[in-house]
Amino acid sequence: MTEIDLRSDSPRSKDHLKIIFDVDDRGKARYFHGRQTVIESFDRLRRSASERGNGTIFVVQGAPGAGKTALLHVLKARARKDRWRVGTINPSALGDPVEMADSLGVRLKRHIRSHIEGGFQGVKAGLTSTRPAKESVRHVLKSASRFKRGVLLVLDEAQTIAWEAEQRTVLYTLNSILNGEWNRPAILLAGGLSTTRQAFQTLGISRLRGDCLVNLARLNADAERAVIRDWLVKAGRAKGEVAEWIDAIASETDGWPQHIVSFAEPASQLLRATNGVLTAQGLSAVISEGVRRKNQYYYGRMDGVSRKNRTALAGFLRGRPPDAAFTRDEVWSVLESANPPEEVVMMFEAFLRKGILAWTRDADLAVPIPSMRRWLVSTYGP
């Protein structure tokens, strides 16, 4: 709970406002800007699939808080608007025709079994039951694409696909999508952590088209400021010029979607509670709340990582340029200095899974959020 003095010209005033900030930083974005390159690439892919009657897999991967789920919602809505059949699935649906049919709203064909019953008056019939016909996921997808421009399967947290027990059946379905085996447009839109591409490789999907793998980074400055403005003006109903508040919040968020919400949503809640009045005290309270949530996020990312590993990584980062990327071998050397040999692989995967490190477009590694890099160095580097 945050207590704010509403009368800046009267420090002794007892007129205070108590606010409990409630931030929802998961799921669909309330205000969405940016990612135009990805959106345009995905739209082109759908048009191509519609024209050629083929399919593909489109992977969006990135660290926690990069805005993957929000982007999936936008891409899903655009496909629906173009009359694609859209289904949100779990990995298990790729191997289970009943689950896939349920996700897409498709009715499975059913077999009818008749039972003959003997009785004192002779033989009588009439007891029947039904059960789903034995159909493959491929047949379900083919049926779902009928009378539609295409089928879009949306799989969030897609890195978990590697854990699916029915890997052989899942691979069969993935290959049928990737190779367009039923001559109808179908796309699997998969969003997940930075290990998602590796998870598909584990299953045997060794190659994706060059424009079908997106390593999601931070928003550009224009998109970042547009999102913050919407929170202040549309959600907070701010009265007056909000440029100072946007500048102050943007200086803390580094274009990272999760951070933007951590600052901007509390700002909107405070402004609504104060009838949209912009004050220095209010801005100070918002920045304080956002910084608290930002640090909470960083410590959450480090949960389960030993202090020795935190210190080793911070020492490695210290002295390097803020936006510098580094090779896998360099990171491996850092981990070898802090871990026994049998734990190096596990810790490397943990760094990726937790979003401490992420792959870049050039297949190098980097700390995805500049402010997280600064936090690591200042907290564990000295």
Tell me, what's the pLDDT at 4? 60
Could you give the CA distance from residue 290 to residue 271 in angstroms, rounded to a whole number? Answer: 15
> Dihedral (C-alpha) 41, 44, 50, 54: value to the nearest 10 degrees?
-50
Top-confidence residue, 135 or 358:
358
Of 70-79, 107-116, 164-173, 210-219, the least confident: 107-116
> Among residues of the chain, what percentage have pLDDT more than 90?
54
Strands 110-119 and 122-132: antiparallel
> Among residues of the chain, what percentage have pLDDT more than 70?
86
Averaged pLDDT for residues 262-280: 93
Cross-strand partners of 188: 57, 153
Phi/psi at 82 (nearest 5 deg)? -90, 15
Write down the mean pLDDT value for the chain. Answer: 85
Averaged pLDDT for residues 241-270: 95
Tell me, what's the pLDDT at 123? 46
Tens digit of each residue's pLDDT (9 = 90 or more) over 217-227: 899 999 999 99
Tell me, what's the pLDDT at 15? 57
Tens digit of each residue's pLDDT (9 = 90 or more) over 165-176: 678 888 889 988
CA-atom Rg of the chain in angstroms: 26
Tell me, what's the pLDDT at 9? 43
Tell whether the model's pLDDT for residue 5 goes beyond 60: no
Could you give the CA distance from residue 145 to residue 180 in angstroms, rounded to a whole number? Answer: 12
- Name the token pair of 345: 């692989």
Top-confidence residue, 208 or 346:
346
Tell me, what's the pLDDT at 47? 92
Helix axis angle for 243-253 and 280-301, nearest 10°, is 20
CB 218 within 8 A of CB 255: yes
Tell me, what's the pLDDT at 352? 87
Tell whether the model's pLDDT for residue 363 goes beyond 80: no
Of 41-50, 111-120, 141-150, the least confident: 111-120
Tell whether the model's pLDDT for residue 202 goes beyond 70: yes
Element spanning 214, H or E: strand 213-215
- Name the token pair of 66: 């990069």
CA atoms within 13 A on the CB side of 255: 14
Averaged pLDDT for residues 355-379: 87
Tell me, what's the pLDDT at 288? 93
Which DSSP category does 182 fall into? Answer: T
Q: pTM here?
A: 0.83
- Name the token pair of 21: 């900030």
Averaged pLDDT for residues 341-355: 90
Averaged pLDDT for residues 191-213: 85
- When pLDDT is cut at 50, 70 and 90, the band that residue 319 belongs to is confident
Residue keyed to tokens 């990805």? 38
- When pLDDT is cut at 50, 70 and 90, the band that residue 268 belongs to is very high
Tens digit of each residue's pLDDT (9 = 90 or more) over 12-44: 445 566 777 777 767 788 999 999 999 999 999
